[in-house]
Amino acid sequence: MTRLTVHVENAPFVERERKSLGKNSQGVEIFKPKKSQCIVNTLSFRNLKSQKEVTDKLVYVRNKYRIARWTKGAKKGKEMIYTSFQ
């Protein structure tokens, strides 16, 4: 099984339902997530069975989003794409 993780530049904002976790020591209510609008700049796909599935997901991400690139260091200019084996 393979996992694909991609960082995107033009990340979309997503509406999420906020849930109350209780109150802190000052009596202020704590929510998870903190805001109802969350940015999704990391996409992760799990349980990909073959290299072809990884390539197909990568094609889908490239068509829909712009993949972020490293700005510093040895990887400067390369796309932020990670694959790992589970």
Q: What is the pLDDT of residues 23-49, one digit of tens each?
A: 999 999 999 888 888 888 999 999 999
Q: CA-CA distance, 70 to 86, in Å (whole number)?
A: 25
Q: What is the mean pLDDT of residues 11-24?
A: 88
Question: The whole model's pTM is what?
Answer: 0.72
Q: CA-CA distance, 77 to 72, in Å (whole number)?
A: 8
Q: Sign of dihedral through CA atoms 11, 45, 70, 62? A: negative
Q: Which residues pair with 32 in a beta bridge?
A: 19
Q: At a CB cut-off of 8 Å and minimum separation 6, what does 52 contact?
A: none
Q: Sign of dihedral through CA atoms 66, 72, 78, 81? A: negative
